[in-house]
Chain A
Amino acid sequence: MSRHTICKTSEVEVGLIKPVTIGRSPIILARLPSGEIRAVGGYCPHQAADLKYGCISGVTNGDTPNELTFDHAGEVLRCPWHGFEYSLVSGDPLVPAPANTKGCLRFYEVAIEGDNVIVIM
């Protein structure tokens, strides 16, 4: 396990993806509306798209066709290629992943020290 000081906490904003590289590993940082910061492995578990080109979204929902609700803004990461949705809260895909793929996002431990974001990997 090594600790990497990545950036200042103010650089990680809700709704935005902050791409960083630790060694040769691409990571993306994102802030949840709760204030928590996520460090996520930079490749999509489906077909390995570079997630820094993805977007932070919310959850569309609805029980009646053509009536959409939208909430949990800032809690979902959508892949830049096929658009699979992943919860930034749990790391799980919103739709169960195909049998032959890893399925969920890879989270790295994050520590906040003062106003520094530390990723432990």
Chain B
Amino acid sequence: MPLIDTDVHESFSGVRDLVPYLPEPYKSWIDGGGWRGFSQPFCYTTPGRGNRADVQNPDGSASVSDYGVMRAQLLDYHHHDYAVLTGYFYPTALKLQYGLASAMAAAYNDYVAEHWLAKDKRFLGSIQINARDPEAAAREIDRMASHPQIKQVMLAVVDDIAYGHPMYRPIFAAAERNNLSVAFHHTVFAQGPYGMGLHYMERHCLIPIALMPQVISLIVNGVFDSFPNLRFMILEGGFSWLPHVMWRLDREFRQGRVEVPWIKKLPSQHCRERLRLSTQPTEDITPDQWGKLIDLMGTDELLVFSTDYPHFDFDNPNVAIPRALSDDTREKIFWKNAAKFYELDIPASAVPSKAAE
């Protein structure tokens, strides 16, 4: 069966890798060690820390950014047709010095184009931006959009931005005029409503609670209506909450439309038409629970498969989506839904032969 992996994290070895791509004065600041990059405000507790422990260089050291390792462990091993690179260096997380953050976003995009996208046609790219500087972000989207492998704009989920706010409109306008989708992914700074919690496990459980408000904010503040051709992807933020959010939004809209008349469709209809959610981490639900959940969503066309490679909570495509689901649903989750979302061609010849596997 073809496989489109919608959340794969390429990386770099550190912010100094951006120096060749940065303009002055930022080049000198970073080259001079003025900033060492983001550091997570917690300690990882799994054997490989933030990554799978088997993501190693040949000498056994942890691999942080290696196309060869990724190719062997992921792209070739699992026979990927496409892998959407989503990064984990999100300049929006820099809360001040927004000129620097915008310059680093551009530098990172150039770095990824040269060191990742150019190496494998299976890679699809995300444009990193600094959302705190929306006009500069829009210019960066316009600059990068012509790259043939670029498919989406990445909006980092931090602790103080709900993207429905009107100030972020230039970003959505730029994405739409370039026929790109927008994707939302947590950062090490994402929080629940009462902060990050007191333990790593607590913080990790709160991630979906940082993504749900983005969907609510985008719909209630009219982003879905203002940009009718834009598609929205929730990455690594859970998916079992979607039925609740759709029910709640619809109910609230019925009783509160008077306040938000710019919403022109039932929120659940907006979600079903243009919102997609990646599956990892699949939360070990049973096949029966998968079936119930898809029933509650009203369609099996909302979920797209992802591994989250190389992160420790990776989902193995051979195991994570139960074989007890219908072939039709599995095909949709593994590739058809993502192919439609990203407007991808899967070579027709590949489909029957792989489907026979």
- Give me the interface of A with B, judged by CB distance under 8 Å: 46-50, 53-55, 78-83, 98-101
Would A80 and B48 be within 8 Å (CB), given that A53-B54, A55-B53 are in contact?
A: yes
CA–CA, A29 to B332, complex, Å? 40
B284 and A81: CB pair below 8 A? no
A27 to chain B, nearest CB (A): 16
Q: Which residue of A lies closest to B53 (CB)?
A: A80
B312's contact among A46, A48, A82, A98, by CB below 8 Å, is which?
A: A82
Q: Which residues of A contact B54 (CB under 8 A)?
A: 49-50, 53, 80-81
A53 and B45: CB pair below 8 A? no
B308-323 Cβ-contact flags toward A at 8 Å (1 or 0)? 0000111110111010
Counting CB contacts under 8 A, is B57 at the interface? no
Counting CB contacts under 8 A, is B286 at the interface? yes
Q: Which residues of B contact A81 (CB under 8 A)?
A: 46, 48, 52-54, 312-314
CA–CA, A33 to B152, complex, Å? 52
A101 and B47: CB pair below 8 A? no
A54 and B53: CB pair below 8 A? yes
SS class of chain B's interface: helix, strand, loop or mixed? Answer: loop
CA–CA, A37 to B285, complex, Å? 34
Q: Which residue of B lies closest to A66 (CB)?
A: B198
B53 and A47: CB pair below 8 A? no
B281-297 Cβ-contact flags toward A at 8 Å (1 or 0)? 00011110000000000
Q: Which residues of B contact A50 (CB under 8 A)?
A: 54
Some 28 contacts from A to B, beta carbons below 8 A apart, are A46-B284, A47-B314, A47-B320, A48-B318, A49-B52, A49-B54, A49-B316, A53-B47, A53-B52, A54-B47, A54-B53, A55-B47, A55-B53, A78-B46, A79-B47, A80-B47, A80-B52, A80-B53, A81-B54, A81-B313, A81-B314, A82-B313, A83-B45, A98-B284, A99-B286, A100-B286, A100-B322, A101-B284
Q: Which residue of A lies closest to B313 (CB)?
A: A82
- Which of A50, A53, A81 has the largest number of chain B CB atoms within 10 A? A81
Count of chain B residues near A, Cβ 8 A? 21
Counting CB contacts under 8 A, is B217 at the interface? no
A47's contact among B45, B46, B287, B316, by CB below 8 Å, is which?
A: B316
Counting CB contacts under 8 A, is B56 at the interface? yes
A78 and B316: CB pair below 8 A? no
The 6 closest A-B pairs by CB, nearest first: A98-B284, A80-B53, A83-B46, A53-B54, A47-B316, A55-B47
Q: Which residue of A lies closest to B283 (CB)?
A: A98
A83's contact among B47, B285, B316, by CB below 8 Å, is which?
A: B47
Q: Which residues of B contact A46 (CB under 8 A)?
A: 284, 319
Q: Which residues of B contact A47 (CB under 8 A)?
A: 314-316, 319-320
Q: Which residues of B contact A99 (CB under 8 A)?
A: 284, 286
With A46-B284, A81-B312 given, can you name 19 additional A-B contacts, CB distance below 8 Å?
A47-B314, A47-B315, A47-B320, A49-B316, A53-B47, A53-B54, A53-B56, A79-B47, A80-B48, A80-B53, A80-B54, A81-B53, A81-B314, A82-B46, A82-B312, A83-B46, A83-B312, A100-B284, A100-B287
CA–CA, A99 to B288, complex, Å? 11
